Chain A
Amino acid sequence: MKEDKASTLVRAMNQAGAKTVAAPEAPTPTTEHPPAPPAAKPAPAPILVIDNLHVALPTGGDRSHAVHGVSLSIAPGKTVCVVGESGSGKSVMATAVMGLLPRELKPSQGRITLQGESLLDASALRLRQLRGKAMGMVFQEPMTALNPVMTCGEQIDELLKEHTKWPAALRQKEILDILAKVRLPEPERMVRSYPHQLSGGQRQRIVIAMAVILKPALLICDEPTTALDVTTQKEILKLIAELQSDTAYGAPGALQSAVLFITHDMGVVAEIADEVLVMHQGRAVEYGPVDEVLHHPRADYTRMLLDAVPSMTPPPARPAPPGPALLRGEAVTKTYSSRDWLGRARETHALQAAALAVRAGETVGVVGESGSGKSTLARCLIRMIEPSDGQVFWGEAEVAHLGEGGLRPLRSQVQVVFQDPNRSLNPRRKVGDSIIEGAMNFGASHAEALALAADLMDKVRLPREGLQRYPSQFSGGQRQRIAIARALACKPRVLVADEAVSALDVSVQAQILTLLRDIRDELGLGLLFITHDLRVAAQLCDRVIVMHQGQIVEQGLTAELYANPQQDYTRRLLQAAPANISRTNT
C-alpha cells in the first residue's frame, strides 16, 4: 500500500465496472500486506503491470503529478478496479496505459508493461497496433466515442481492416457474431444503424463490441456505465464479466483477458472487482482484494469513501408532517407535438397526469431513469415550462397557466437548485451579486440583501469573504452550496432540487445532502428531490414517487416502498442498484 498525501487538482470522469465476482470468493484470510495482489497457485504472468508510475503535470498547477507513484498488476481473468473521486488521477493513469495522454502530460517515471512489452517506450505506431488488438477500450460516453456519420457496422469494419487481413466476408461474419455476443437484438439491423438511432445502452454495447472483437488481452473500461441508467448499468456490468470469463479471449494459451476498470462508484466496485486500487490526489491510498478493501479498509480515505456511499436501506419513517401542501400538482401533463415533413402531427407524452404534494418539513423524492419524465415534472412544477394540462398550486395559488408576469410575484415561494454547479451560477457575476438578486427582486434594499447573503453564507457553511469572489474560485460542492444560498435568499417555502447532488463526488454529495436536510428542518421547508439515485433517495426522502415513461408507477413511504415494492418496474429498479456495501468496522 502506498502512503496517501494531498494536494489538489484536476480531472473528473465517472464510473462503472468491469467484471463480476459473482460468487464472492470465500472470505480469504489474505496476507496482511496489501500492495501485492493476492498470489495463489503458480499464478500466470500478469497481463498488465504498472510499476511506480509518475505522470507529471505542467508546472503552475496545484500539484506536481497527476499520478504519483502508482503500481498495480492484473493477472489473466482478473479485474482491477481503480476507484477515486474527481482529480484522483485514475483516468490519467488509464489514459497513460493506452498511450493517449494529452501532450501536456508526460510520464516522468516508472514502467507500464503489457504482456512483457514496455508501453512507455513503444513508438506511436506500435501503440496504435496494440490499441484495439492487444488492449480494448471502453469510454464513458458512447455517443461521443462513436462517429455519428458512420454506421455501426462500418465503424467496426474499419477497426478490422486496420488490424487484420481478413476478407470482407469473414469480417462481416465476425461483426455479426460479436454483436450477437454483446446481446444486441437484430445484429443485421444494428450493423446498418447510425449511433443516434440506438439507445445509450445499445451504443455502449457497440463500443464494447469494438473493444473486444479482436480478443484483446487487456480491456480498459473508463467509467463505462456512468452515463447509463441503473438497469442498463447492471446489464453492461454483467456483459463485461461474461465477455471476460469467455475463455476464447487472450490468444496465447486461451487465457482470459484482464480488465482495468476505472470508476467512482463503490457499488460498482463491489459488483465487479477482484482487486481494488483506491486513488486520491494522484497517489495510491490502498490496494488489495475487493473483500479486504470494502469490508476491512485500512486507509482513512477509503473508509471515508465507503461511509459516504448512502445505504439502500432507508431510515425508519418520520411522522408525517401536518399542514397543507405548499406545492401541489394535479394531473400535470406535458405533451410535445411536432410535425413531420408531411405535416402529420407526432405527439410525445413526456408526462402523463402526474399528481404530487409537498408539505412543510417533508422531503418528497421523485426517482426514475432518464426519459422517465421526472425532470419534466419538476420543470412544470417550478413553471420553467407550461404544462399542457392539469393544475399546479403554489400554496393557494393556481399557477399552471399563468404568464411570466403573473408568476413573478409568486416565484419567491418555490425555488430550485439545479444539477450542474458549474453552469448554475453566472460566471461573470460575483457570488454576492448572485445571492442578493432574489432578495432584491422581492423588495429588499441592497443593504438588507447583503446582510441576508452574509447570513446565508453562514448557513451553507461558506466563509463570508466568498461573497466577493467569482464562482470559478470555488469547487463544485462549494458552488452547489452557493446555489442553495441563492435559492434561499428569497425565503422560499419549497425547494426543488433537480438532481442536485448527481454531479458531485460521493464525499461532497454526502455533505450537500446533510446540508439540505439541516436547512429543511431548520427553516421548515418542503423539499422536492428529483434523482436517479435510489441510494440518495433512500436516505433523504420521506416519501418516494417512482416514475417510468412519463407516468407515476408507484409511490409510498420510503421505508415501505423499498422494503416491499408493489410494481414490477420498481422491483427491477431496486434490484439493479449496485450492491450494498456492508462494512464491518475494524
Chain B
Amino acid sequence: MLIPKLWRNSAFKFGILVLLLLLLLAVCAPLLGTVDPSAMDSANINTAAGVHGEFALLDGSAVQHIFWMGSDNFGRDIYSRVLYGTRTSLLVAAFTALVAIGIGAVLGMLAGYFRLVDALLMRFMDGLMAIPAILLAIALVSALGATLWTVVVAIAIPEIPRVTRLVRALVLTLREEPFVEAARALATPTPVILWRHILPNAMAPLIVQGTFIAASAVLTEAILSFLGLGLPADVPTWGNIMAEGRVQFTQYPGNVLFPALFLVPTVLAINLLGDGLRDVLDPKFAKRSA
C-alpha cells in the first residue's frame, strides 16, 4: 500500500535510487578495482585521471590499476579513497540520524507529556540551540577525540534540540486526541500510552526529520574533516580528501572536484528522499507541492 505510493513519488524514487547506488558502491568498494585507500605509492604522485599504471601496495607487491580519478600528492588513489569515503559518509549520516532521532524522541515525549520535565528540559534545549551547531560539534570533537562515534555524537548533539522541539509539539497535540484520553480512561499506564499511542502517530514527521538530519550530517562531517577536525587522516572521507586536495587545487582540481561530485548528489538524494517521504506520509504538505 505504502510502497507503491512512495514509488509513484518521483522525488522519493530518485532519492532512493541514488542512495541505493551509493550504498552498493560503499559495500562493494573492494570489488570495484580499488586499492588500499591509505596506500601511498611514491611513483604515482599526482597522476592524471584515467591513466593506466601499476600501483605499488604497502606490502611491496604491485598491481595493475586504472587511476580513474588520478592520485594525490602522497601518491594515494583518489578513486579508492572516494569510494571508501562513501562508507564513512553513509555511516555517519545513518548513525547521526538514528542517535538524534532516538534521543530527541525520548526527550520530546517526556517534555510533551510531563510539565515539570518540560520546563527544565526545554530551557536546557534553548541554551543548546543558542550555540552554533558547527562550533558545538568542533568543541565536542576536540574534547572527545576523533573517532567515528565521537564524530557521530558531535554532529548529533546539536540536532537533538530541534528533534526534541518537533516531538514535543507533536505530543502536545496528540495527548489531547480522544484516543489518548480513551487510553487514559482505560487505565493504560503512561509509559505505555507514550509508546503505543503517541510515538507511532508521531513517527511520520520524525522519519522525515531524520532524513534531513542525515543530509546535514553528511555535510557537517565533510566540513569537520575539511577543517582537519573530523576523522583521523588515515580514514578516507570526502571532507579530508578535499582538504588535502585544497592546497594544490589550481594545478589538480580533481582532488577536490571528484569527492564533491559524490557529496553533492548524496545530500541532494537524501533531501529528495525526505521530501518524497513527507509528501506521502503527511498529506497536509502533499497538497502544497501537488
Interface residues of A (CB under 8 A from B): 382, 384, 404, 407-409, 411-412, 414-416, 418-420, 423-429, 434, 437-438, 441-442, 483, 486-487, 489-490
Contact = CB atoms under 8 A, between A and B. Distances in A.
A426 B197 contact: yes
Contact of B187 (A384, A411, A420, A486): A411
Interface residues of B, number: 17
A437 B179 contact: no
Interface stretch (B54-62, B138-146, B188-196): B188-196
Given A427-B201, A428-B200, A416 B182 contact: yes
18 contacts: A382-B185, A384-B184, A411-B185, A411-B187, A415-B185, A415-B186, A416-B182, A423-B178, A426-B179, A427-B179, A428-B200, A428-B201, A429-B197, A437-B183, A438-B187, A442-B187, A486-B182, A486-B186
Contacts of B197: 426, 429
Interface in B171-218: 177-179, 181-190, 196-197, 200-201
B186 A425 contact: no
A418 B187 contact: no
Nearest to B204: A428
User: Counting chain A CB atoms within 10 Å of each CB, which of B178, B185, B196 scores highest?
Assistant: B185
B182 A412 contact: no
A102 to B, nearest CB: 10
A486 B177 CA distance: 16
A412 B188 CA distance: 11
B196 A411 contact: no
Nearest to A483: B182
Given A426-B197, A427-B201, A428-B200, A437 B178 contact: no
Given A426-B201, A427-B201, A429-B196, A408 B181 contact: no
A426 B179 CA distance: 6
A460 to B, nearest CB: 15
Contacts, number: 65
B177 A423 contact: yes
B184 A437 contact: no
A507 B10 CA distance: 43
Contacts of B184: 384, 404
Contacts of B179: 423-427, 434
Nearest to A411: B187
Contacts of A407: 187
A442 B185 CA distance: 12
A71 to B, nearest CB: 33
B144 to A, nearest CB: 38
Contacts of B201: 426-428
The 5 lowest CB-CB distance pairs between A and B, nearest first, are: A438-B186, A424-B178, A411-B187, A418-B178, A428-B200
A219 to B, nearest CB: 30
Nearest to B177: A423
Nearest to A384: B181
Contacts of A483: 182
Contacts of A411: 185-187
B1 to A, nearest CB: 11
A408 B182 contact: no
B201 to A, nearest CB: 6
B202 to A, nearest CB: 10
Contacts of A486: 182, 186
Contacts of B188: 437, 441
B34 to A, nearest CB: 44
A428 B179 CA distance: 11
B95 to A, nearest CB: 26
Contact of A424 (B182, B187, B190, B196): B182
Contact of B181 (A412, A418, A434, A490): A418
A41 B196 CA distance: 68
B178 A420 contact: yes
Nearest to A420: B178
A419 B179 CA distance: 11
Nearest to A379: B181
A116 to B, nearest CB: 37
A58 to B, nearest CB: 13
A418 B186 contact: no
A437 B189 CA distance: 11
Contacts of A487: 182, 185
B182 A441 contact: no
B27 to A, nearest CB: 33
Contacts of A427: 179, 201
Nearest to B179: A426
A420 B176 CA distance: 13
Given A429-B200, A487-B182, 7 more contacts: A409-B187, A415-B185, A416-B182, A420-B178, A424-B178, A437-B183, A441-B189
A437 B186 contact: yes
Contacts of A423: 177-179
Nearest to A425: B179
A379 to B, nearest CB: 9
A85 to B, nearest CB: 23
A88 to B, nearest CB: 24
Contacts of A384: 181, 184-185
